[in-house]
Homo-oligomer: A and B are copies of this chain.
């Protein structure tokens, strides 16, 4: 299929619906990455890529394949003692002018090269190639990661097929510079409202200024020392911060309300209720309303299984502070890490590019670990 541009669509449109695409799975890894990259799959338009992935997985006798929408999963059932889940999203942010992909200076350039088709190629290649991995494997290739959480294919798949959402350890193939980024912090957002009594500002003594009262909320934030908590051997830095403040009615009115929005990023040693209780304790005496929350995820890297993984892939290990899809595994009670090629700071940028050497290194590490069957 010749890459082409179409009027009316945003940039490169190779692999649009109706085009038959497939992969040569015995070709070199970099060819597979380039092939996957050249099938555009912005969120909501993952069909052709999902079709090609499904076809590739169906070709492997050792895999049971399950599809939900444009999320495709496959698993082995070899009776191993442990099960590992590998997951990666197949969608990208909208394609700009950076497709078709190009190889320059040992790197593959183009939309999605970092986030996360480099990782995707590794997962797909290993899913098909490893017919006897040392742990039973579940591979999940999911859609709609780059859009609102309610559409997220990993979340929807786990909800629809809870028997597939089981395992002892999970690896999310998101770019991590080839390092292992363990778990993730949880996040809780609350609104703290201070009350007041409205009055004309020419007679301010008739009222009670809610903005002035917010000083005590901000002072508690300034007095707060965020903790660093070690979970499964990794140090998670927490944070408690105002991310918004709003108050005021008019330039001549003493305001009767002021709202401070506070974001608590908490280590994965805490459940959501524990995190909420902590915030309520910090702001005791104030009205606290939870507006948004998402739990964290333990890295689980102190276990035997993960230790084997770490020593096999020979990569740096550090905590993940930002909230990622790793946390969905946290919800399912499965410790998880990010491990994939590419610099996350290049994700979504116009000069997105992934080092092919890093793609090979991550592939090699995972392959080495999963192949070393020793039961």
Contacts and interface: CB of A to CB of B under 8 A. Distances in A.
A254 B237 contact: no
A92 interface: no
A114 B226 CA distance: 59
A204 B227 CA distance: 12
A261 B251 contact: yes
Contacts of A203: 237, 239, 321-322
A321 B242 contact: no
A373 interface: no
Nearest to A263: B201
B239 A244 contact: no
A357 to B, nearest CB: 27
Interface in A187-241: 187, 189, 200-205, 209, 211-212, 214-215, 218-219, 221-222, 226, 237, 239, 241
B201 A243 contact: yes
Interface residues of A, number: 45
Identical subunits present: 2
Contact of A255 (B226, B242, B248, B254): B242
A60 interface: no
Contacts of A283: none
Given A202-B323, A209-B242, A218-B211, A252 B248 contact: no
Contact of A258 (B245, B248, B258): B245
Interface of A: 185, 187, 189, 200-205, 209, 211-212, 214-215, 218-219, 221-222, 226, 237, 239, 241-255, 258, 260-261, 263, 265, 292, 321-323
